[in-house]
């Protein structure tokens, strides 16, 4: 983690989609900082080291999302929630199937609402808690053949603001991170297009794509005491991409 760390000893975090990629990097960073982590994900395996458990759930199912969240809330004192899980189903907009649209909305936006409600209520009652939602560059820019993902991630930014407006007075910090371009599963369709990669990279002031640990460090900051007076922001971690 490049010598960046915070002390999260005694804290319990729930991280969705922690089996790899950005979610896995965030989960491991939390573990390295002393937190206990509950990995809420579709897959049963998790390549992490530390005090963690896996709870399987299909976040494309509202019922299964609620079932898993209630199970965890009954067993764990959750101090931190990271809503990371996301999918993108690509179609040209004029042919976008309603079923795929609704699935993306459920996983990327509605599940964020469901989980935040279940884990947020006890945080409000205690007067403290940290929630980090993972947004996207496409929260701000339209996505080519990714209308549902763009719409959902735009919704994540607005949901973050709305949650802040209601919950900041109760001591619950709700913020978001907007990752730029990273070599993750979600970007595989892009990574197969050399010319497009070159165009994207040319538009990033640092001249390079990010590492998942860059997102993990931002998440650590937002769940730390250093961010106690930060509410409702969406923090771009993009190498300066939005500044161009």
In a domain, 6, yes or no: no
Longest dimension (CA), the chain: 52
Burial string for 192-223 (b: 16+ CB within 10 Å, else e) reads eeeeebeebeeebeeeebbebbbbbbbbbbbb
In a domain, 45, yes or no: yes
- 0.75 exceeded by the pTM? yes
In the prediction, which pLDDT does 3 show?
61
Residues ≥6 apart with Cβ < 8 Å to 152: 86, 104, 105, 108, 109
Quick: pLDDT tens for 153-200: 999 999 999 999 999 999 999 999 999 999 887 777 676 778 888 988
Burial category of 10 from C-beta neighbours within 10 Å (exposed 0-12, middle 13-18, buried 19 and up): exposed
Which is the catalytic residue, given 149, 181, 229, 241?
A: 149
In a domain, 51, yes or no: yes
In a domain, 214, yes or no: yes
Backbone dihedral region of 106: left (phi > 0), alpha (psi from -120 to 50 degrees) or beta? alpha
In a domain, 5, yes or no: no
Distance CA 28, CA 156 (A): 24
Domain that holds residue 225: 12-234
Partner residues linked to 237 by β-bridges = 179
Distance CA 56, CA 143 (A): 30
Report the mean per-residue pLDDT for the chain. 95
In a domain, 21, yes or no: yes
Give the CATH number of the domain where residue 79 resides: 3.40.50.720
Query: Is the per-residue pLDDT at 1 higher than 80?
Result: no
In a domain, 199, yes or no: yes
Q: How many domains does the chain have?
A: 1
Query: Is the per-residue pLDDT at 31 higher than 70?
Result: yes
Distance CA 18, CA 101 (A): 23
In the prediction, which pLDDT does 178 show?
98
Segment 131-149 shows an average pLDDT of: 95
A 10 A CB-CB count for 99 gives 8
Distance CA 52, CA 35 (A): 9
Quick: pLDDT tens for 51-89: 999 999 999 999 999 999 999 999 999 999 999 999 999
Segment 99-108 shows an average pLDDT of: 98
Distance CA 57, CA 37 (A): 16
> What φ, ψ does residue 176 adopt, rounded to 5°?
-135, 160
Q: Is 149 one of the annotated active-site residues of the chain?
A: yes
User: Do 109 and 65 form a contact (C-beta atoms < 8 A)?
Assistant: no
In a domain, 243, yes or no: no
């Amino acid at each position: 983690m490049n010598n960046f760390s915070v002390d999260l000893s005694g804290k319990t975090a729930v991280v969705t989609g922690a089996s790899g990629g950005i979610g896995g990097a965030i989960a491991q960073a939390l573990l390295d900082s002393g937190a206990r982590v509950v990995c809420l994900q579709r897959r049963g395996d998790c390549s992490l080291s530390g005090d963690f458990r896996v709870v399987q759930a299909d976040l494309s199912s509202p019922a299964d999302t609620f079932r898993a969240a209630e199970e965890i809330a009954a067993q764990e004192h959750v101090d931190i929630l990271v809503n990371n899980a996301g999918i993108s189903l690509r179609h040209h907009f004029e042919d976008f199937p309603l079923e795929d649209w609704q699935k993306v909305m459920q996983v990327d936006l509605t599940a964020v609402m469901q989980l935040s409600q279940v884990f947020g209520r006890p945080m409000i009652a205690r007067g403290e808690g940290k929630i980090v939602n993972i947004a996207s560059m496409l929260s701000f820019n339209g996505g080519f053949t990714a209308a549902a993902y763009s719409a959902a991630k735009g919704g994540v930014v607005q949901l973050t603001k709305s949650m802040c407006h209601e919950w900041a007075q109760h001591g619950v910090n709700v913020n978001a991170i907007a990752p730029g371009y990273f070599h993750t599963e979600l970007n595989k369709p892009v990574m197969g297009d050399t010319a497009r990669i070159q165009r994207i990279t040319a538009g990033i002031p640092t001249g390079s794509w990010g590492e998942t640990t860059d997102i993990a460090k931002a998440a650590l900051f937002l769940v730390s005491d250093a961010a106690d007076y930060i509410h409702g922001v969406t923090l771009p971690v993009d190498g300066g991409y939005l500044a161009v």
